[in-house]
DNA sequence: GATGAATGAGTATTCATTCAT
DNA sequence: CATGAATGAATACTCATTCAT
């Protein structure tokens, strides 16, 4: 960001802009996301927007950062161990669905459509790493071991699979479909229960 | 299309344009997909592009149609029954990876970013229906029954999960990662083997 | 024209093109008059059109020439003298209305909207001169004298007034309105009857 | 208009654009009226033009509105009764000529060539109605009666005749020709004096 | 600081015209 | 000669960004 806002008023302005941007990004996609529209929805002049965000990329990065922070916070608050795979899966799906409820399209737009400064693009980004290790950890925990290389990969596959299901549901406006939730839970539970086993060993 | 190409020359031009469009859509996303860029990459004038495609939407629909046809053809050539879940999963992953190999980002861009004429947008589209029933069928087959309502949902979840894994791999440029393939195969196999069972029954 | 058509077939082609052009010009105005559209309506290829007309201006000039020839022919066939002003006015209005009946908007488009090569633009054009002298003559005849300078001006005013009435009627699609015809006849009759008189002398 | 200009600066910009548009429309006709040319002549960027006019049609409507307002104002300031037909005719011609002096071709271009939003197109438009009833009124007044149906038609014929004479004079660049003015005055006077009479009654 | 007027490069699309077949 | 595929300059309009007030 161009300028760290010192005063409370400025901080509020920045938040308003980020929130307006998130709403537009979610509802209209990257194509409908114009700086003038964001400023208008936020109720500030276009000049003010550029006071806080030197360009569009910086703004979208701020929105992304905010969104990923929120998502990670939701995941971190989940209990990792001390819980059966089935219960964990239920809580996980709840958390992911909740994270997508505020701005249903936002996650996908931020990851797929919107361009981003290097920081978020590469697979080594702070968020990717934390996100991934969260899943690797969960898998290892339910396999009663500490995370190994295979768990990293399994974690990625699991998180991407969940992402795919949720994302496509969001696209159809069916993010709260209970039957879908149940099936997704079943998929996760199966995977968690069986990871690390050589297939067919059960 | 605006005009049926009569001569061989023009048929070739149309193919070149569609191919160039697919490439750009795949590499740059919807935002980078400009008609002038497509024409340039195709090596034809902008006028030629508009001779065959009355507008951008029609062009993107042609690309989508081509891509989905190819994808469905790949799936249809898979053996459905007479094969163990594990073997089926291996072949399925191979087919999906192959379909994404030519233009890695194309599938997601076409489904998520690019606008489209009604035909493809709604969930009742010819392709969605065939795609979905393919998965419902596979699940039912491996459960030794004919497809029921639950299989429809399971089919959607499975196909969306696979989609998520493949898409994110494509985003990272890791679509040919063998370890990922193996994990994905395991996920599918588990799900196919257990679908229809009440969880915990195994 | 680029090429004098020698054979009957060529002459027919040229006529078809001119007729198609007149129709489009009349129905769609200058803005809708594109060479490709004319060729299509005429049922010839765009290449053939350019075989006979080196450019758009030449084509529009051919249409104009044809139209003005037709119009003049209609006027020339009117009896000039040996007839009361009232009867002359009736016949004149009939002729003018008839000339506008085939392609109602054509006259205006050709004179106002469509650009033209110098030949038609300037007031000394062959057609303007003949047209004008026709009216000057009519006025002089009904004033029992040979045409003088004042008659030239009166002729212009009369022909322009008639043009205005007919043109605006065409615009409203009311070119066959009998009440309007009657009023126009009255206007012409009054003017013919009084021209040359010092106003107030009657 | 897209945006109400708040500051004095922007109000001036809008006026400049409308004026430039009128000039171009008058000199070059609808075909030469391009938004980029208007912006250039107005000395503003194309972006500024679109800040105030969402599209070309809105701009041309603004020009038309302005022009018709001006024209009506000129007519309304004329004394209707208490004046001989001849004097009235003189004043009328003066007013019409004055209205066409600033932008000679504008009136016809606006009415004939330029497309317009519904408001102006149909014969029931506010302007058409007022314009027409003005002439019907004038005719009735000079016939010492209140306007009847026949006066409506006569009004239309008279106004269209005047329009034709003025327009064609403008086309020839001869709008200030005194001899023409005199003849036109005579035409109007005759018509006003005789309207309502059965022809031949004088 | 805040405002919003102004900028202009960029994008979709049209159409007169050329030329290989 | 006829065809129609190909060309590209021109046109309406958008939107990120700047800067005078």
More confident: A6 or C139: C139
Q: What is the pLDDT of residues A32-88, one digit of tens each?
A: 999 999 999 999 999 999 999 999 999 999 999 999 999 888 888 887 667 888 999
End-to-end Cα distance, chain A: 53
DSSP H or E segment with residue B183: helix B178-194
Beta-carbon contacts of residue A25 (< 8 Å; ≥ 6 apart): A33, A60, A63, A103, A105, A106, A109, A110, A114
| Least Cα separation, residue B50 to chain A (angstroms) | 23
At residue D125, the pLDDT reads: 76
At residue C151, the pLDDT reads: 93
Q: What is the pLDDT of residues C107-135, one digit of tens each?
A: 999 998 999 876 666 656 788 888 889 99
Q: Are D82 and D91 in contact (CB under 8 A)?
A: no
- Give the residue on A whose Cα is nearest the Cα of B106: A112
Distance in Å from F8's C1' to B46's CA comes to: 8
Q: Which residues in chain D touch residue C183, judged by CB atoms under 8 angstroms apart?
A: 153-154, 157
Task: Give the residue-averaged pLDDT of A111-132.
Answer: 79
At residue A26, the pLDDT reads: 95
Tell me, rounded to whole angstroms, the distance of Cα B187 from its chain centroid: 20
At residue D198, the pLDDT reads: 40
Q: Which residues in chain C touch residue D86, judged by CB atoms under 8 angstroms apart?
A: 199-200
| Least Cα separation, residue A12 to chain B (angstroms) | 31
At residue A198, the pLDDT reads: 39
H-assigned helices in B102-175 = 106-108, 118-121, 126-142, 149-171
Q: Exposed/middle/buried for D91, CB within 10 Å: 0-12, 13-18, 19+?
A: middle
Q: Exposed/middle/buried for D164, CB within 10 Å: 0-12, 13-18, 19+?
A: buried
At residue A199, the pLDDT reads: 38
Domains of chain D, with CATH numbers?
1-54 (1.10.10.60), 64-194 (1.10.357)
**Stated length of chain B:** 202
The count of other CB atoms within 10 Å of the CB of residue B39 is 20
Q: Residue D6: pLDDT above 90? A: no
Task: Give the residue-averaged pLDDT of D168-191.
Answer: 94
Task: Give the residue-averaged pLDDT of D33-48.
Answer: 97
| Least Cα separation, residue A195 to chain B (angstroms) | 9
pTM above 0.85, yes or no: yes
Distance separating alpha carbons of residues B38 and D162, to the nearest angstrom = 55
Question: Looking at the C1' of nucleotide F7, which residue has the nearest alpha carbon?
Answer: B45
Task: Give the residue-averaged pLDDT of D154-164.
Answer: 96
Distance separating alpha carbons of residues B28 and B42, to the nearest angstrom = 15
Nucleotide with the nearest C1' to A33 CA = F15
At residue B131, the pLDDT reads: 87
Q: Is the CB of D30 under 7 A from strand F?
A: no
Q: Is the CB of C13 under 7 A from strand F?
A: yes
Mean pLDDT per 10-residue interval, chain B, length 202 residues: 66 94 96 97 97 96 93 84 86 94 93 80 74 90 88 95 95 94 96 60 38
Contact C112 D111 (CB under 8 A): no
Q: Residue D159: pLDDT above 90? A: yes
Q: Residue D196: pLDDT above 90? A: no
Chain B 52-91 residues in 7 Å CB range of strand F: none
Distance separating alpha carbons of residues D97 and D107, to the nearest angstrom = 11
Q: Is the CB of A50 under 7 A from strand F?
A: yes
Token representation of residue A95: 């958390």
Distance separating alpha carbons of residues A87 and A187, to the nearest angstrom = 13
At residue A196, the pLDDT reads: 47
At residue D119, the pLDDT reads: 61
Distance separating alpha carbons of residues C68 and C128, to the nearest angstrom = 10
Q: How much of chain C exceeds pLDDT 70, in percent? A: 87
Question: Looking at the C1' of nucleotide E3, which residue has the nearest alpha carbon?
Answer: A45
More confident: D183 or A6: D183
Tell me which residue has tokens 């003189």: D90
* Interfacial D residues in 66-85 facing C (CB < 8 Å): none
| A56 Cβ under 8 Å from any chain B Cβ | no
At residue B180, the pLDDT reads: 97
Confidence of residue A202 (pLDDT cuts 50, 70, 90): very low
More confident: C39 or A8: C39
Distance separating alpha carbons of residues C46 and C101, to the nearest angstrom = 29
Task: Give the residue-averaged pLDDT of C32-39.
Answer: 97
At residue C199, the pLDDT reads: 39
Q: What is the pLDDT of residues C149-159, one digit of tens each?
A: 999 999 999 99
At residue B193, the pLDDT reads: 82
Residues D2-25 as b or e (16 or more Cβ within 10 Å = b):
eeeeeeeeeeebbebbbbbbbbbb
Distance separating alpha carbons of residues A131 and C196, to the nearest angstrom = 100
Chain B 130-159 residues in 7 Å CB range of strand F: none
Q: Residue A2: pLDDT above 70? A: no
Task: Give the residue-averaged pLDDT of A120-128.
Answer: 71
Contact C153 D194 (CB under 8 A): no
Coil, helix or strand for A58?
helix
Token representation of residue D125: 């438009």
Q: How far is CA D167 from CA D112, D161, D175, D189, in A?
A: 12, 10, 8, 20
The count of other CB atoms within 10 Å of the CB of residue C159 is 23
Q: Are C132 and C152 in contact (CB under 8 A)?
A: yes
Q: What is the mean pLDDT of chain C?
A: 87
Confidence of residue D77 (pLDDT cuts 50, 70, 90): confident
Nucleotide with the nearest C1' to A53 CA = F17
């Amino acid at each position: 960001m161009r300028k760290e806002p010192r005063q409370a008023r400025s901080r509020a302005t920045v938040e308003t802009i980020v929130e307006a941007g998130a709403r537009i990004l979610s509802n209209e996609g990257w194509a409908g996301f114009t700086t003038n529209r964001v400023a208008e929805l936020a109720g500030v002049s276009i000049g003010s927007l550029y006071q806080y965000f030197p360009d569009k990329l910086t703004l979208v990065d701020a929105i992304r950062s905010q969104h990923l922070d929120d998502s990670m916070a939701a995941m971190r608050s989940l209990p990792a161990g001390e819980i059966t795979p089935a219960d964990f899966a239920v809580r996980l799906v709840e958390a992911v669905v909740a994270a997508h409820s505020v701005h249903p399209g936002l996650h996908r737009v931020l990851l797929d459509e919107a361009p981003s400064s290097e920081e978020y693009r590469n697979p080594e980004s702070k968020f990717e790493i934390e996100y991934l290790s969260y899943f690797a950890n969960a898998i290892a925990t339910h396999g009663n071991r500490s995370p190994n290389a295979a768990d990293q990969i399994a974690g990625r596959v699991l998180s991407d699979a969940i992402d795919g299901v949720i994302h496509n549901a969001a696209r159809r406006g069916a993010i709260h479909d209970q039957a879908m939730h149940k099936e997704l839970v079943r998929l996760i539970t199966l995977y968690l229960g069986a990871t690390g086993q050589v297939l067919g060993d059960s």
